[in-house]
Amino acid sequence: MGVVQDPTADNEVPPTSAARPAAGTAGSTAATHRGGTPARSAAVSPQPDALAEDALVLGLDVGGTTIKGEITDAAGTVLAVGTVLTPQGEAAFEVMGALGDQLLAELTEAQRGRVGRAAVVLPGIVDTVRSIAVFSSNVGWRDFEVGNRFIDRWGMPVLIEHDVAVAGWAEWRFGAGRGYDNVCVVILGTGISGTLSVGGRLLRSSYGQVGEYGHIPVRADGLPCPCGNTGCVETVASGASIARAYTRRTGREISGAAEVFALVDTDTDAKAVLADAVDALADGLIGIVHAACPELIILGGGLAGAGAALTEPLHQAIADRLRLVPAPHVVLGEFGARAGLTGAALFARQGALG
């Protein structure tokens, strides 16, 4: 059995109160919904400038605990790498800038001149049209205007996007889903969210948010969710929820979901907790399977480290619930916990989520 990595998916609860889209590119105009949420423009964004074959790119993946950064070439070779702790609030943006400075400073003068574009992928709610980090409950910012902050600081074009959108796009286009047109990517960790590609197009809502699979209610008599609902998938199947469920059942404190997966072959309580988590995840995904008929469901994030202990029972649980459409294959993502950082580099090189 594989070892479960530390959960890395930061699922955000928004404050109370859109051929493949070129998300994160410059030149779009924003409309606004009646509720005040910025809408993504239906206008076609201009195609990004193509990078030279020898161009380097800078990618930053911002998480609730750490900010990871790399500078890579077209083959994916890493020329500079760094990780720093994520401070709370708007101070995180200064740390992002400083990490980029550090990585660029590690290059030779000739290499520095080859860095053609950067991408910064952020948790929470991200308005890529207006370059605003709208909300992150984990990091603690709200309506922070990124604007040209990184462009001016690093002297190059800089794209911003939602971390899960980029991670899911990368797994679909370049990872486990390459060659398939209909793919559902589920990032499992502290939270649960993902992406959906149908007919060779990455689906985005009018305000750009990706699939909040973790907030699909599946247990009417379940636990309260921080989103305000009851019995969401995330209250049963996230890493933290699995660990808490095992402790409630046994009275034994454990460090995380990895321990529960490690015990599944010898501990009936661990087996029962994981069966409940798989059932909840299958219940949440079944409507998506009926509506979009994906060929693949790709599991990424920290919990995907469980390997066959997660993919096989989830495939069976989904198959058991289907009568009219074929069951999709359930596979592990190729990029694992690095999907966000790998995606940031690919996004910077491609210039759009296309």
Q: Note the pLDDT tens digit of each residue in 46-82.
A: 567 889 999 999 999 998 889 999 999 999 999 999 9
N- to C-terminal Cα distance for the chain?
35
The Cα 168–Cα 166 span in angstroms is 6
pLDDT band at 303 (very low <50, low <70, confident <90, very high): confident
Q: Note the pLDDT tens digit of each residue in 180-212.
A: 999 999 999 878 999 999 999 999 877 666 789
Length of the chain: 354
- Extended strands (E) in the chain: 31-32, 38-39, 56-62, 66-72, 78-85, 115-122, 125-127, 132-136, 141-145, 158-162, 183-188, 192-198, 201-202, 296-300, 329-332
The Cα 121–Cα 49 span in angstroms is 20
Cα of 310 vs its chain's centroid, Å: 19
Task: Please tell me the predicted confidence (pLDDT) of residue 55.
Answer: 97
The Cα 15–Cα 44 span in angstroms is 30
Q: Say whether 311 sits in a helix, a strand or coil.
A: helix
Backbone angles phi and psi of 142, in degrees to 5? -150, 125
pLDDT band at 157 (very low <50, low <70, confident <90, very high): very high
The Cα 62–Cα 87 span in angstroms is 11
Q: Please state whether beta strands 66-72 and 78-85 pair in parallel, antiparallel, or not at all (unpaired).
A: antiparallel
Cβ 295 vs Cβ 263: under 8 Å = no
Q: Taken in order 95, 96, 99, 105, is the CA torsion positive or negative?
A: negative
Rounded to the nearest integer, the mean pLDDT of the chain is 87
Backbone angles phi and psi of 328, in degrees to 5? -70, 155
pTM above 0.75, yes or no: yes
